[in-house]
Amino acid sequence: MLSDIEIAQRSTMLPIVEIAEKINLIEDDLELYGKYKAKINLKRINQLAGQKKPAGKLVLVTSINPTPAGEGKTTVSVGLADALNYLEQSTILALREPSLGPTMGMKGGAAGGGYAQVMPMEDINMHFTGDMHALTAANNALSAFIDNHLYQGNGCQINPATITWKRALDLNDRALRNIVVGLGGRFNGVPREDGFDITVASEMMAILCLATDIDDLKNRLSHIVIGETYDRQMVTVADLKVQGALALLLKDAIKPNLVQTLYHTPALVHGGPFANIAHGCNSVLATQTAMKLADYTVTEAGFGADLGAEKFLDIKVPQLEKAPDVVVIVATIRALKMHGGVVKTELAHENIEALKKGFANLKKHIENMQNYGLPVVVAINEFSSDTEKEETCLKEMIEALGVPVALTSVWEKGPVGGIELAKAVIETAEKQSSDFVPLYDMKKRTIQEKVTTIVTDIYGGSGVQFSKKAKKQMQTFAERGWDHLPICMAKTQYSLSDDPTQLGRPTGFDVTIREFVPKLGAGFIVALTGQVLTMPGLPKKPAALQMDITEDGEIKGLF
Amino acid sequence: MLSDIEIAQRSTMLPIVEIAEKINLIEDDLELYGKYKAKINLKRINQLAGQKKPAGKLVLVTSINPTPAGEGKTTVSVGLADALNYLEQSTILALREPSLGPTMGMKGGAAGGGYAQVMPMEDINMHFTGDMHALTAANNALSAFIDNHLYQGNGCQINPATITWKRALDLNDRALRNIVVGLGGRFNGVPREDGFDITVASEMMAILCLATDIDDLKNRLSHIVIGETYDRQMVTVADLKVQGALALLLKDAIKPNLVQTLYHTPALVHGGPFANIAHGCNSVLATQTAMKLADYTVTEAGFGADLGAEKFLDIKVPQLEKAPDVVVIVATIRALKMHGGVVKTELAHENIEALKKGFANLKKHIENMQNYGLPVVVAINEFSSDTEKEETCLKEMIEALGVPVALTSVWEKGPVGGIELAKAVIETAEKQSSDFVPLYDMKKRTIQEKVTTIVTDIYGGSGVQFSKKAKKQMQTFAERGWDHLPICMAKTQYSLSDDPTQLGRPTGFDVTIREFVPKLGAGFIVALTGQVLTMPGLPKKPAALQMDITEDGEIKGLF
Dump the DSSP string for A489-546: EE--SS-SSS-TT--S---S-EEEE-EEEEETTTTEEEEE-S---SS----SS-GGGG
In 3D, which of B232, B227, B160, B171 has the Cα closest to residue B198? Answer: B171
What pLDDT score was predicted for residue B467?
Answer: 97
For residue B22, give every residue at least 6 positions away whose Cβ sits within 8 Å of its Cβ, in sequence order, or none.
B90, B264, B266
What pLDDT score was predicted for residue B331?
Answer: 98
Tens-digit pLDDT profile for chain B (559 aa)?
A: 788 888 888 889 999 999 999 999 999 999 999 899 999 999 999 999 888 888 899 999 999 999 988 789 999 999 999 999 999 999 999 999 999 988 888 865 678 889 999 999 889 999 999 999 999 999 999 999 999 999 998 767 999 999 999 999 999 999 999 999 999 999 999 999 999 999 999 999 999 999 999 999 999 999 999 999 999 999 999 999 999 999 999 999 999 999 999 999 999 999 999 888 899 999 999 999 999 999 999 999 999 999 999 999 999 999 999 999 999 999 999 999 999 999 999 999 999 999 999 999 999 999 999 999 999 999 999 999 999 999 999 999 999 999 999 999 999 999 999 999 999 999 999 998 889 999 999 999 999 999 999 999 999 999 999 999 999 999 999 999 999 999 999 999 999 999 999 999 999 999 999 999 999 999 999 999 988 889 999 999 999 999 999 988 888 887 6
Using CA atoms, how far apart are residues A455 and A509, in angstroms rounded to an integer?
9
What pLDDT score was predicted for residue A108?
Answer: 60
B545–A152 CB contact, under 8 Å: no
A73 annotated as ligand-binding: yes
Of A214, A544, A551, which has the smallest distance from its Cβ to B214's Cβ? A551
* A356 at B interface, C-beta within 8 A: no
Distances (CA, A) of A440 to A310, A313, A372, A506, B391: 11, 10, 10, 23, 77
Q: 27-56 in B: which are within 8 Å (CB) of A?
A: 31-35, 42
B-chain residues within 8 Å CB-CB of A50? none
DSSP letters of A342-406?
A: --GGGTTS--HHHHHHHHHHHHHHHHHHHHTT--EEEEEE--TT--HHHHHHHHHHHHTTT--EE
Of B147, B151, B188, which has the smallest distance from its Cβ to A178's Cβ? B188
* B211 at A interface, C-beta within 8 A: no
Antiparallel, parallel or unpaired: β A57-63 and A296-300? parallel
Q: 520-559 in B: which are within 8 Å (CB) of A?
A: 537-538, 540, 542, 544-551, 553, 555-558
Nearest-neighbour CA in chain B from A547: distance (Å): 5
Nearest-neighbour CA in chain B from A148: distance (Å): 6
Tell me if B102 sits within 8 A of B278, measured CB to CB. no
Q: 79-108 in B: which are within 8 Å (CB) of A?
A: 100, 104
What pLDDT score was predicted for residue A186?
Answer: 92
Tell me if A228 sits within 8 A of A162, measured CB to CB. yes
Using CA atoms, how far apart are residues A482 and A527, in angstroms rounded to an integer?
13
B-chain residues within 8 Å CB-CB of A220? none
Structure letter (DSSP) for residue A319 = H
Length of chain B: 559
The answer, yes or no, to whether residue A94 has pLDDT greater than 80, is yes
Tell me if B65 sits within 8 A of B306, measured CB to CB. yes
pLDDT tens readout for residues A398-424: 999 999 999 999 999 999 999 999 999
Nearest-neighbour CA in chain A from B254: distance (Å): 12
B-chain residues within 8 Å CB-CB of A131? none
Of B144, B175, B213, which has the smallest distance from its Cβ to A171's Cβ? B144
Per-position b or e across A459-482, b if 16+ CB within 10 A of its CB: bbbeebebeeebeebbeebeeeeb
Give the model's confidence band at A276: pLDDT under 50 very low, under 70 low, under 90 confident, else very high.
confident
pLDDT tens readout for residues A30-78: 999 989 999 999 999 999 988 888 889 999 999 999 998 878 999 999 9
Q: Is B197 helix (H, G, I), strand (E, B) or coil?
A: strand
The answer, yes or no, to whether residue A109 has pLDDT greater than 70, is no
Using CA atoms, how far apart are residues A246 and A220, in angstroms rounded to an integer?
11
Over residues A289-301, mean pLDDT? 97
Our measurement of the distance from residue A389's CA atom to the centroid of its chain's CA atoms, rounded to an integer in Å, reads 34
Nearest-neighbour CA in chain A from B556: distance (Å): 9
Tell me if B221 sits within 8 A of B237, measured CB to CB. yes
Using CA atoms, how far apart are residues A37 and B368, in angstroms rounded to an integer?
49
A-chain residues within 8 Å CB-CB of B220? none
Q: What is the ipTM of this complex?
A: 0.94
Residue of B176, B187, B243, B541 to mutate, testing the A interface (most A Cβ within 10 Å of its Cβ): B176
Of B140, B151, B548, which has the smallest distance from its Cβ to A169's Cβ? B140
Of B32, B244, B549, which has the smallest distance from its Cβ to A547's Cβ? B244
Percent of chain A, pLDDT > 70?
99
B50 annotated as ligand-binding: no
What pLDDT score was predicted for residue B8?
Answer: 83
B-chain residues within 8 Å CB-CB of A166? none
B-chain residues within 8 Å CB-CB of A33? 31-34
What pLDDT score was predicted for residue B52?
Answer: 85
A71 annotated as ligand-binding: yes
Antiparallel, parallel or unpaired: β A225-228 and A234-236? antiparallel
In 3D, which of A472, A553, A462 has the Cα closest to residue A510? Answer: A462
Backbone angles phi, psi at B505, to 5 degrees: -125, 85
In 3D, which of A187, A160, A209, A4 has the Cα closest to residue B536? Answer: A187
B-chain residues within 8 Å CB-CB of A130? 127, 130, 133
The answer, yes or no, to whether residue A129 has pLDDT greater than 90, is yes
B468 annotated as ligand-binding: no
The answer, yes or no, to whether residue A156 has pLDDT greater than 80, is no
B182–A170 CB contact, under 8 Å: no
Of B144, B537, B549, which has the smallest distance from its Cβ to A248's Cβ? B549
DSSP letters of A467-491?
A: PHHHHHHHHHHHHTT-TTSPEEEE-
B521 annotated as ligand-binding: no
A171–B137 CB contact, under 8 Å: yes
Of A133, A152, A537, which has the smallest distance from its Cβ to B133's Cβ? A133
In 3D, which of B87, B13, B7 has the Cα closest to residue B296? Answer: B87
* B258 at A interface, C-beta within 8 A: no
The answer, yes or no, to whether residue A107 has pLDDT greater than 70, is no
B179–A177 CB contact, under 8 Å: no
Percent of chain A, pLDDT > 90?
88
- Supply the residues of A annotated as catalytic: 73, 75, 96, 107, 275, 303, 383, 411
Residue of B240, B243, B551, B552 to mutate, testing the A interface (most A Cβ within 10 Å of its Cβ): B551
Upstream peptide bond of A539 is cis (omega within 30 degrees of 0): no
A–B interface: beta-carbon pairs under 8 A: 233
Using CA atoms, how far apart are residues B237 and B221, in angstroms rounded to an integer?
7
Per-position b or e across A83-97, b if 16+ CB within 10 A of its CB: bbbbbebbbbbbbbb
pTM above 0.90, yes or no: yes
The answer, yes or no, to whether residue A539 has pLDDT greater than 80, is yes
For residue B489, give every residue at least 6 positions away whose Cβ sits within 8 Å of its Cβ, in sequence order, or none.
B276, B307, B310, B311, B451, B454, B526, B527, B529
Residue of B106, B148, B165 to mutate, testing the A interface (most A Cβ within 10 Å of its Cβ): B148
Structure letter (DSSP) for residue B241 = T
A-chain residues within 8 Å CB-CB of B104? 141, 144, 245
- Supply the residues of B annotated as catalytic: 73, 75, 96, 107, 275, 303, 383, 411
Of A174, A245, A248, which has the smallest distance from its Cβ to B151's Cβ? A174
What pLDDT score was predicted for residue A506?
Answer: 97
Q: 236-255 in A: which are within 8 Å (CB) of B?
A: 241-242, 244-245, 247-249, 251-252
Using CA atoms, how far apart are residues A455 and A462, in angstroms rounded to an integer?
8
What pLDDT score was predicted for residue B109?
Answer: 64
The answer, yes or no, to whether residue A1 has pLDDT greater than 80, is no
The answer, yes or no, to whether residue A185 has pLDDT greater than 70, is yes
Q: 394-423 in B: which are within 8 Å (CB) of A?
A: none
Q: What is the mean pLDDT of chain A?
A: 95
What pLDDT score was predicted for residue B319?
Answer: 94
Contacts 24+ apart (CB under 8 A), B18-21: B19/B258, B19/B259, B19/B260, B19/B264, B19/B266, B20/B258, B20/B266
Residue B299 parent element (H or E): strand B296-300
A332 annotated as ligand-binding: no
B547–A245 CB contact, under 8 Å: yes
pLDDT tens readout for residues A440-489: 999 999 999 999 999 999 999 999 999 999 999 999 999 999 999 999 99
The answer, yes or no, to whether residue A85 has pLDDT greater than 80, is yes
Tell me if A342 sits within 8 A of A354, measured CB to CB. yes
Structure letter (DSSP) for residue B325 = S
In 3D, which of B7, B132, B130, B24 has the Cα closest to residue B75? Answer: B7
Length of chain A: 559
- For the beta carbon of residue B223, count every other beta carbon within 10 angstroms: 18
What pLDDT score was predicted for residue A106?
Answer: 81
B-chain residues within 8 Å CB-CB of A531? none
B-chain residues within 8 Å CB-CB of A550? 214
DSSP letters of A285-304?
A: HHHHHHHHH-SEEEEEBSSS
